[in-house]
Amino acid sequence: MNKWALSTLAIIIALAIFFFATRSFEVQEPQPARDLSLSIPSLTPPSLDILPNNNSNLAQEAWEIFQNYLAFAHAHDLEGLRTLSHQISDTCNNPAKEKGCFELMDSVYTLASPFTLNDFKNIISDEKQIIMYTDGPDVVMLYFTRKEDGTPKVLGMRFCLENATATISCVETDPTKRDLNNNGWWDSVESLFY
């Protein structure tokens, strides 16, 4: 990305942090490895299909879902968002908070619409989840869950700064460290559930 895009991204990130009331789209910093135990039923761990940089069909499918999601957000089409989302925020599930929901949709659209599929050069996935992410140091991550037929559902977006001194990557690529509680959901994906 050029300097203009990075400046625009920095402004958009600042606005997003201010407006976001949900955890689905948040800024994070790499965290040291730790045991994350959330109350999700124990499942048989999936066989991992790790696809760095080379699964263009899956990336294209997830990207199209994400672009449709952004179009619904831009149009304030909550029913459309429901068809493409893994979950809907409490704000948008409450008809009395329609204005706040529309503000969230506008923020998501403003934050995410400048990106292109070419920005997301990396992808990891298995039968339950997908993470698409950009190269660093400013790492943008798109998270998806997958329906039983493999169709992606939008879960969230995060931003992470991965500087030269970081000892932990923004995206865990080691399959043995992704799911510390062995419930089938990668810890970074699971952290977006509410």
Residue 36 lies inside a defined structural domain of this protein: no
Residue 194 lies inside a defined structural domain of this protein: no
> For residue 8, what are the domain limits?
3-30+46-172
Per-residue pLDDT for 39 more than 80?
Answer: no
Which among 131, 132, 129, 127 is positioned nearest to 149, based on CA atoms? 127
How many domains is the chain partitioned into structurally? Answer: 1
Q: How confident is the model at residue 2 (pLDDT cuts 50, 70, 90)?
A: low
Range of lowest pLDDT (36-50, 79-93, 96-110): 36-50
97/115 Cα distance (integer angstroms) = 29
* Look-up of token digits 């950009």: 134
Residue 55 lies inside a defined structural domain of this protein: yes
Range of lowest pLDDT (40-44, 52-56, 99-103): 40-44
Residue 191 lies inside a defined structural domain of this protein: no
Q: What is the CA radius of gyration of the chain?
A: 16
Residue 106 lies inside a defined structural domain of this protein: yes
Q: How confident is the model at residue 33 (pLDDT cuts 50, 70, 90)?
A: very low
> What φ, ψ does residue 179 adopt, rounded to 5°?
-125, 80
Residue 133 lies inside a defined structural domain of this protein: yes
- Record the pTM: 0.72
Mean per-residue pLDDT, 157-182: 87
Residue 142 lies inside a defined structural domain of this protein: yes
Residue 35 lies inside a defined structural domain of this protein: no
pLDDT at 129: 95
The 10s digit of each residue's pLDDT in 104-153 is 999 999 999 999 999 999 999 999 999 999 998 999 999 999 999 999 99
pLDDT at 1: 52
Per-residue pLDDT for 186 more than 70?
Answer: yes
Per-residue pLDDT for 169 more than 70?
Answer: yes
pLDDT at 46: 42
Q: Which of 6-10, 43-47, 58-62 has the highest mean pLDDT?
A: 58-62
- DSSP output for 158-193: EEEE--TT-SS-SS---TTTS-TT-SSS-HHHHTT-
CB atoms within 10 A of CB 85: 21
pLDDT at 194: 87
Range of lowest pLDDT (10-24, 131-145, 163-177): 10-24
